[in-house]
Structure 1
Amino acid sequence: MVTDIGGIDDRSFNTSAWAGLEGAAAAESDIEIDYVASGAEADYIPNLEGYVQEDCDFILAVGGLMFSQTQQVAADHPERQFGIVDADVGEPNVYPMQFDTAQAAFLAGYLAAGYTTSGIVATYGGEKIGPVTIFMDGFADGVAHYNDVKDADVEVLGWDKDAQDGSFTDSFTDQGAGRALSDAFIAQGADVVMPVAGGAGLGTADGALETEEYAVIWVDVDGCESAQQYCSTFLTTVVKNMPMAVEGAVLEAYGSDDLATGEFYGTLENDGVSIAPYHEFEDEIDDELKAEVDQLRQDIIDGTIVVESPAQPR
């Protein structure tokens, strides 16, 4: 596995993808796994090529930022099996794993709107790329849906869906930048913040733990499992089930005499995306609100409610 910037311990998407490889290795004892961390975008091609030279059977690229580099290396080595999270590079030897996280983020936005006491919630991203803004779109739409059905006026800071513009740390590692953005939101009255910024979002969680002034919605992997010290701050997590997707892709490739030609597209219906349990907030969230979120999940699965984002995989 070639990690995206942020490394294996980002408590988010790199951590989650690695868990998928660990699952595959646990399922088949002769599968050996390894990873290399990317410190910058310039590392992507050397890291991918390095595993080609090591004659690896499955080379996983983690993150949409690796789109063009994975496409290039895969095209140069058509006999080699690759996989990529959050992208489809269009090469037959690259197994794509994509997620409609807007669906799950819609539930989180509705939950945040029902939970806030200030009437102000916020979100920000690491970089302005589709796998990030899709979360922010769903979150904003969930808040808007709450406002519609409840005749409320909950405000979202950090993202304007119509303009497709908002607040970003321009980093998936800078916790100081994450903390600064969330501090600014809290100063404007927000009491729920959803960072979509990998390890940079830990700055927001740290601020919530220190000040006890707001709750955090984590993303990618259940924060109470990946960043347990911050569990008391996590209202929920918008989960992207990368472990299931990655494990399935590796095992499909392992069991095939040829290149794995499948794909994974995660939705609420197939549990590819979801929201995590409420953990320490279980008793703080109104039972009626919980029931409404559960019903919204079913309405999205049934197609009664359609969640749309320009960043949804096509």
Structure 2
Amino acid sequence: MDTDRFDRRKFVKGVGAAGLIGLAGCTGGPESGGSSGNSGGSGGDSDSDSEETQTQTQASGSDTTYVGMVYATGGLGDGSFNDQAQTGIQRAAEEFDLSYDESEPDSVSQFSTYQTQYAQSTDPNYDLVSCIGFLQADALSQTAPDYPDQNFMIVDSVVDAPNVRSYTFKEHEGSYLVGQLAGLLTTQSFSAGGSSTQSDSTNVGFVGGVEGSLIKKFEAGYIAGVKAASDDVDVQSTYTGSFSDPSAGKEAALQMYSSGADIVYHAAGNTGVGVFQAAREEGRFAIGVDRDQSVTTDYQDVILASMVKRVDTAVYNAAKAIVNDSFEGGTATTLGLAEEGVDIVYGTELGDQIPEDVKSQIASARQAIIDGDVSVPTEPSNV
């Protein structure tokens, strides 16, 4: 292992001592908490500062495929975007002779460092570097040309380079469905768990993380779905500027609930945990994102539904292509409702209490979007 080139503690935020054991003496890449096909549990159970020792089984041999994972800021344990990506690589490791290592950047400025370290590594030689999140696009646009023989994939952005496979999603389509749910329920007297809608208000909210064209797609679809349910519903929108600040998410949501919002949908990564906290405190409802957050968080009592985004599918498919020697760089794939890349999933605790006529209207809208009868806007200004 080339220990002189960089130091683990200095450059990489690891995901636990177990990964360090699996990688000891074997890698020149970011020693950031590598994992194997036997990596157990979801990202929601990880602890980057853990010193516990666990047994890991590392795939090995000349035919082993090595993947380096560079996660989005906010890290593992978000119960959302990054954890969904981890699910994809875990599945690939279970099915193939594949080992993976993980890096959790604290800031956008670190993306280039991690991408480069994986690309430069020779022991192991990483067959694929997976870059999770649109904020990695600028760094990857610089890194990929410098390492033309290295395969990269990126989620949520398109990087035009012959060695990069890009995956994007139609987040606006899935967001339309949860928006319709919010719009329909706020116009009713609805109670579930310890929460209820306000009889004197038809008002819902949206909390975004870092403002940009991607998160605007969530917002645009959500607003369009709300308005499809009722033109009389008001929609409050705000951005916290971070995907890793639950306190900011809570503050934003509390303000919305106090201004009459019954339901708040977030597209804000770990910041969204604060939205759930606010919903519980105020006796209102929330909608999760990326994964079924009524499963991956402890807020089942307030989460009506989640807009799931199959980042795991993109990560898995890219890894599978590498294993099968069918990886196509310089291409882009977009996954929407028709491709089962996004969808609505009702909450495990509250979902059964949502009226069937509401679910029926949402199911009809879902099919109409797939059939092309409903076109969902990608920018709020077009709603």
**TM-score normalised by L of structure 1:** 0.91
Higher helix share: 1
Report the CA distance between 1:283 and its aligned residue: 3.3
Q: 1:156 aligns with which of 231, 235, 247?
A: 235
Match of 1:304 in 2: 373
SS at match of 1:113: helix
Find the aligned partners of 2:211 and 2:250 in 1 and give their Cα distance: 18
Report the CA distance between 1:22 and its aligned residue: 0.7
Match of 1:120 in 2: 203
Q: Does the aligned pair in 1 maintain the 2:128–2:150 contact within 8 Å? A: yes
SS at match of 1:17: helix
Report the CA distance between 1:286 and its aligned residue: 1.4
Report the CA distance between 1:257 and its aligned residue: 6.5
Match of 1:85 in 2: 155
Find the aligned partners of 2:327 and 2:250 in 1 and give their Cα distance: 47
Q: How does 1:233-248 map to 2 (within 5 A)?
A: 233-248=302-317
SS at match of 1:232: coil
Q: 2:215 aligns with which of 95, 111, 132?
A: 132
Match of 2:270 in 1: 199
Q: 1:107 aligns with which of 177, 192, 196?
A: 177
Match of 2:362 in 1: 293
Give CA deviations for 1:137-157 in whole Å, capped at 9, x if unaligned: 00000011112xxxx511101
Match of 1:216 in 2: 286
Report the CA distance between 1:72 and its aligned residue: 0.9
Q: Does the aligned pair in 1 maintain the 2:160–2:330 contact within 8 Å? A: no
Q: Does the aligned pair in 1 maintain the 2:210–2:242 contact within 8 Å? A: yes
Give CA deviations for 1:125-180 in whole Å, capped at 9, x if unaligned: 11111221111100000011112xxxx5111011xxxxxxxx11111111111000
Report the CA distance between 1:263 and its aligned residue: 3.7
Q: Does the aligned pair in 1 maintain the 2:128–2:153 contact within 8 Å? A: yes
Q: Does the aligned pair in 2 maintain the 1:2–1:60 contact within 8 Å? A: yes
Report the CA distance between 1:246 and its aligned residue: 1.0
Report the CA distance between 1:259 and its aligned residue: 5.0
Report the CA distance between 1:225 and its aligned residue: 2.5
Match of 2:112 in 1: 45
SS at match of 2:308: strand
Match of 2:254 in 1: 183
Aligned residues: percent identity? Answer: 31
Q: Does the aligned pair in 2 maintain the 1:252–1:260 contact within 8 Å? A: no
Give CA deviations for 1:46-73 in whole Å, capped at 9, x if unaligned: 1111111222111011111111101111
Unpaired stretches in structure 2, ≥5 consecutive residues: 1-68, 187-196
Q: 2:228 aligns with which of 145, 160, 163?
A: 145
Q: How does 1:256-271 map to 2 (within 5 A)?
A: 256=325, 259-260=328-329, 262-271=331-340
**TM-score normalised by L of structure 2:** 0.75
Find the aligned partners of 2:321 and 2:88 in 1 and give their Cα distance: 13
SS at match of 2:299: helix
One-letter amino acid matched to 1:185: M
Match of 1:94 in 2: 164
Whose RCO is larger (CA < 8 A, sep 6+)? Answer: 1
Determine whether 1:18 maps to 2:86.
Answer: yes
Q: CA RMSD in A?
A: 1.5
Q: 2:146 aligns with which of 67, 76, 79?
A: 76
Report the CA distance between 1:253 and its aligned residue: 1.7
